[in-house]
Structure formats: C-alpha cells, structure tokens
Structure 1
Amino acid sequence: MRVHVMDLNIGDRLLVDTFNHYGLHLLSSGTRLRSEDISKLLMHQITYVDIAPKEELEPPKHDFYMLTEESFKELRILYDQAIKGTEELFEEAESTSKVNGQLVQAAFVPMAEYVREQRDVVDLLLELNHKDDYTYQHSIQTGILAHKLATWVGYAEEEALQIGVAGYLHDVGKCRIDQAILVKQGELTEEEQAELAKHTTYGYEIIRNSAYRYPISLVALQHHERIDGSGYPCQLRNSNIHAYTHIVMVADIYSGMISNRPSHIKRDLLTVLQYLYQLSFSKIDATIAHTFISRMIPNFIGKRVRLNNGEIGKIIMNNNTDFFRPLVQIEDRFVNFVSDRTYEIQEIMM
C-alpha cells in the first residue's frame, strides 16, 4: 500500500527498502516505523513509501514505542506508587540520616525498568508531569531521565541503572530543608537560598551513611556544580566533576524547568531543550547535552502544540537549520518557524 509520508503512523511497517534521491539507504524492508524514522524520511524529502496493509499487521503484544491507554494505566499505577514510596524514603532519611535501599528498589527501580524500552520520552514526560509535589516528582523524573541518558551515551544497563539511582537520590538532602523554604512562592531571600543550597551537602552525608556510597553520594554533592566553576557548593570545574554527575546535571536541569515549582513557572519541553543547548557552551558537558537533545528532538514529531496566538497545531518535521523551530501544521496550512519568527510554541500537548 503506497502512502504519503505525511500520512504515516508510528508502527507502520515498510514493505521495501527505502533510499533517498542520491541512492543512500535510509530504512530497510520490514522496519516498524518510529517517530525518528518518519522524521528521517521527511528530512530526506521522501514523498511516498510502501507499507503493509493495516490488516496484515500483527497487533503488538506490548508496544513500548508508543504508549497505549492500557500502558498509560499501568504507568500511572507505578508512578503513584513511586511518589508514595519517595515520600516515605524522604521521611525516613530525615529521621534516620540514611537512605533505605529497599525503598529505592520498591519505588524507583520498577519505574526505571518499565520505561527502559520506551522510546517516546516526550509522551512519558507529558504523562508524568501532573503531580503537585515537586520534590518527589522531580526526583523520579530526574532518575528516569538520567537512566535513559546514560544508556544513550553508551553505559551498559547495570551501570546506567546506578546512574539512574544517583539521579533519583540527588535531592534527598532536601529532607533536612525547612518545608517553608521548599514551598515558598516567589523568590527566596539570600538567607533562604543559602539554606536551600545546603541540600547538596546534606544529601552527600545521608548517602555516605547508607548502603549507597561513592559515586552516588558524590552526585548528590555535585549536581549543582557547573563546568565553568560557577556552581556550588565547591565551585568545581569540568575535570573535577564526576562523570555520573554530568549526566544527572542535564537530567536535573531539564526536569526542573519543565515542572511547576513554587518559585518558577514551568516551560515547554522544546524550549528547555534549547536552553540546554545554550548551557552546553559554558555550563554543562556539551557531548552529553547534545546527545540528550538529539535523542529527544525526534519525539516531538506528531505532537500537538499550543502557539502564542492561541492556535493549536501539530509538529510535522524538524528543521535541520534550527532544531528548536520546527515545521508546524495549523489546520490546512504549514508554517515554517525558521522563516516565520512571529510564531512561538507555548505548550507541547499529548
């Protein structure tokens, strides 16, 4: 069945090998299309492809590439359990000055294992970004993103999961911070900022006193450092920051900025990727940041967006000249955000 590339769906199966106009092989026969595959076809200006008729497609036993409603229900149950388990973990850490490894295994590891094969991280974040308690939600998100990013940069699964745990525990020191500071609306005073900054050393002490030690404790201490020495608490520079921390640093910033916090309004997922790109020139590890961006960008294709003029559109393809200003379909017209700068994306939607 020959279809236009614009009519392709995730999960469609190619019937024949696909080549670009120069003869470069793009995708093989039998490929189940993912969002990044459709993006590749668009970028190479492929117009039509042959796919298997819908009735010939075997229904997947469990589609990890695209979260179904059933998958969402299972994910929500796991996530609610993770939130409750994280709250219990923080409360116990405050009273015992230790991290309970069993709670980590029960609250975070099942979530990490469930989303390990989930390719569309954007769908995942949109679904998991609705809880009111920022600290617990942020801990889970940072752990999941750190785990994914660790695999993307080449870590084996066992070590990637350890990096995910480091991301999950990076803010455990906040259990010792006055709740009034954590939930305060608006800007903090200098004294409050200084007290909040202590969560890095508190987290280091708590993890060092637990079964989880180096380098997970070091990540808790260093996750607010920056490679130019402008971070805290030790003003470390690039080579003195642990490799795990560089990964958690990116996950921490991204999760923090896409979430509602008492002192900050959340930003849309694509805008924050652009912010990470800007930071990669002086504040965070460029290779890790660019890997994260390149793996996230294809997930935005097909997503609905709310624009600055109130219109609703759909991202059709990414622009090679500016990844952060895509081609968007608005009803029956197409708008190239690179050439038309009057449009801005206000929100990425399911």
Structure 2
Amino acid sequence: MKAMVLYGPKDIRYEEVDKPVCGDNDVLLQIKAIGLCGSDIRTITYGHYKVKYPQIIGHEITGQVAETGKNVKKFKAGDRLYVSPVVPCHECKACRLGYEELCENLTVIGTEIQGDYAEYMLLEEKVLKNGVVLSIPDELEYEQAVITEPLSSVYACQENCSITLGDTVAIIGMGPIGCLHTALAKIRGAKAVIAIEQSEERLNKSKEFGADYLINSSKEDPVAKVREITGGWGAEKVISACPSTDAQNQAISMACKKGTVIFFGGVPKGKLTNIDTNIIHYNTLTLIGHYGYSNLQARKAFSLITSGRLDAKKFVTHVLPLKEIEKAVELTRSGEAIKVVLKP
C-alpha cells in the first residue's frame, strides 16, 4: 500500500509499505479521509519525543472496514467508521477518576502506533475495546466526519470551563481550532464572540462561524480593543488557541473580574510565558490548562456533527491527495486554509 512515512524531522516520504495483516481480534480499515492537524505539522517539522521512526503518523481518522478478524462481531466489511485516536487504558488512577485524557498509559494513534497517513490501517483489539469507534451515517461525508477529532477537544474544553448563556468569549487564534471554538461557543449560548487573529484572511473567515467582533492583533492592541468592546469590563471566558506565549499573556489581561482564562494551544518547548500574577490575584481569575477529551466527550462531539447542530462541511476548505501533503501544510501555514482534508 501507499503511505506517507515520517523518518525524522522534515523527512517525510510517500512510498510503498507493507499492508497491515488483520488478526483475529482486529479490523482492517481502508482510509477514506484524513484531517491535517496542526500537531501533525509540528511533528513533521520538529519531530515528536514519543514517535519511533520510521512512523506513519496521522490521527484524524475515517474509513471503511475492509476486513474483520474472526472474533470481531461488532463490525463488518463495508461499515463506515470514525475512529478516535485517543485510547485510554481504563485502569490507571487518572482513568478511574474519570480523567481518561490524562491516562497514564495513554495510546495515541499516529504516535505510539501507526496512524492513518496511508491507504490502510489496523484497528487493534485495544483500540476497539478501549477507544471510541463510531458508525458514520450514510448521509454524512467522510470529509465532514473527520472534524469530530478536533471538535472533541474543543467540546471538552468548553464543557470543562462552562461556557454558557450570556458569556462574552474572546478567542485568540482563528485556525481550525479557533473557528470551532467560535461556532461551539455560539451553540452554547455565548452572547458575543470576539475573534483575535493576525491573518486578515483567517479573521474574515471567522465571521462565517459566528464571530461578532474581529480584532487584527497585528494592527491594534487586542487587550485594549477587548476592553473597548466590553465597555471596560473584559470577557467572561478567554481562550488562547494558538502556540504563542504573547497570546497567553494577553489572555490574562482580557478577562473580566472573576473571569476564566483557558490555555488551549501549547507553546514551543522551552518557551515560558511572563505573566503578571497580580492580575490573576486581584481579579480572582481562574486559569485553566486544557488538553484532550474523554471517550464520552468524543461521542458528544460526534453527535453534534451527525445531528447537524454543527455544520462540519463549512470547516473543510481544501481536499487534496495525501501525496500532496507539502502543499497542504503550506496552505495551512499561510492561513489560506481553515481545514485541509487529505485522501489516500
């Protein structure tokens, strides 16, 4: 089969590899659509400490069952599936406390085991037993179902920080994650969403997802502008959804008294954010770090898409062959694309 294989930072090759062999307890999945994630781009560019090279990466997964092992009863050839890449053990202390995303033995497809940058991938018994594998309705395209993975993390974030009716939400970064945050905040009842972004193209696109106010942070002070929009009060919820220490610092200053600040986007390793903790102290802010999602939150995100409450189709701006991944990366980095979906 053809696959995109990562041999190390900035060394990814489209080549022929062995097709996985389906065991008695496994499912062989023919990949139909792959979401290009910002974390994939970082892994391609800088590597990842958990990846053992060579590795087939990719973790936003949809496909059709090509073959099932003799002991598999739940799925059959032809089934259309969405596969969550996050596979908790359900046995460690974190899992027992309900923090599956913080599982001490977490397996992530595309990191520790083969991902979906290929024509086929194997869903091993552990994935089928402990992960989330969901049937895609016939009326939903694979390209739309792919959005479930990033939406799962966005959903978990907003559920955990309780974005609700009447909130003003400021979101820094209007990549695919920021746009999903915008759409979901409106679904949850946010009074207003303030979109903050340096790319004029991405900023303008954010209006399609429900942004009420646009701030180009390369042209004006985003903190001052948020204060102006809110009559000096600030935003009830502020989400830093980009890999920037400056954004994290600004987020603290945008929040209202008793507000909540969420650090959603990770920053480059070794980078430290210089925060005036007196702002947190005297305004009694809540500061939350966010990573991942539970199995239940993944299922809820999927239902938002299958029910039509969230229009996943709007987020997919480009569909390209897998072998054109370099073009896909450039489209994403330039801000021209919101979400690129790849097809083997």
User: Normalising by structure 1, what TM-score?
Assistant: 0.28
Bigger Rg, which one? 1
Structure having the larger proportion of residues in strand: 2
Structure having the larger proportion of residues in helix: 1
